[in-house]
Amino acid sequence: VPSLATLPRDLATFAKYHLVRRSVKHPAREENLGIVPLSFDLERYIAAVRAFDGDRFAVTTEAEVEYEGRRHPILSARSKADADKTLLVLAGVHGNEHAGLLAVPRLLEKWSAGPRDGVRLVVVTPVNPVGAAELSRYNAEGYDINRDFVRFYTPEARLVRQIFEREKPDFVVSLHEGPQDATFMFANRFVTDDAARELLDALAKGGTVLAEKDYFGMRLDPAGLSPSTAAARAVTKLWGRVLGMKTTIAYSEDLGIPELVLESSWSLPDEDARVRAHVDLVLATALHLRRARR
Ligand SMILES: [Zn+2]
């Protein structure tokens, strides 16, 4: 882990959020992260996801989060076909990372047109609706939900835990964005090397540019993959024990479930490219799960 002093300023700014669970008491906007805004509108988004309720998907309001007198839903979209594997997608854990949210209607559209057997899709979105409405990483109380998988202070993390318990996923994909200049993914120790390479190939084939470095400036080999290492796992354990912080990917690892966290580049102005990476990764993961059962 490089020291903060050696990092370029924007990366250092970002890295600080890995050290702070609650920096504010409200869903703060941050103007200095270099996020290129996409055409995201929360109400339109919720309506677009709800419109998939029908033959192929059951769309349900899992919870509502109140902020400044308004109630914001957290939805789930669950595919209806019979399947023995479940793929859980978490979209919008950080409300200001919009590509993973915008990917959901496209994903549901493509899923509807694809094969119906083998894999069940469960999408939870937006996991942080107040952040999505307020263009913030944080929830209504200023907590980073993706640090809250030890203590479960936030209703959003408790809901995700409840959905893990109910849906018993075989694989989890979390959709995020970051300040690095291209796309990469974190994998926990239950994602096999073969699976990771297959999924990277699928991303590259779809036109996604794979990052040579992660957002700490660490070289990625192969490009696009930040694998689980013994050192990283030790840091994660310590982080959980000392600071009481844990991300979804470490929570999945505790449960023995493979998880990938996709990080597209929030500095890219090309909306289509940012969104496509998320759609492609989820579809490729489903294909991988389908093949694995044969
Ligand atoms: Zn994120």
pLDDT at 4: 45
The one-letter amino acid at 292: A
* Predicted model pTM: 0.92
CA of 54 to the centre of ligand 1 (A): 30
pLDDT at 209: 97
SS3 for the chain is: CCCHHHCCHHHHHHHHCCCCCECCCCCCECCCCCCCCCCCCHHHHHHHHHCCECCCEEEEEEEEEEECCEEEEEEEEEECCCEEEEEEEEECCCCCCCHHHHHHHHHHHHHHHCCCCEEEEEEEECCCHHHHHHCECCCCCCECHHHECCCCCCHHHHHHHHHHHHHCCCEEEEEEEECCCCEEEEECCCCCHHHHHHHHHHHHHCCCCECCECCCCCECCCCCEECCCHHHHHHHHHHHHHHCCECHHHHHHHHCCCEEEEEEECCCCCHHHHHHHHHHHHHHHHHHHHHHCC
CA of 293 to the centre of ligand 1 (A): 31
Orientation angle between helical segments 42-50 and 99-113, nearest 10 degrees: 20
CA of 185 to the centre of ligand 1 (A): 11
Extract the tokens encoding 112: 């509807």
CA of 288 to the centre of ligand 1 (A): 24
CA of 201 to the centre of ligand 1 (A): 23
CA of 192 to the centre of ligand 1 (A): 23
Alpha-carbon dihedral sign for residues 72, 131, 79, 155? negative
CA of 93 to the centre of ligand 1 (A): 7
The one-letter amino acid at 117: D
Question: How far are the Cα atoms of 3, 88, 131, 220 from residue 283, in angstroms, in the given order?
Answer: 37, 12, 26, 23
CA of 125 to the centre of ligand 1 (A): 14
Q: Examine residue 179 and say whether the peptide bond preceding it is cis (omega within 30 degrees of 0).
A: no
CA of 82 to the centre of ligand 1 (A): 32
CA of 174 to the centre of ligand 1 (A): 9
Residue numbers in the chain where pLDDT is lower than 70: 1-23, 294
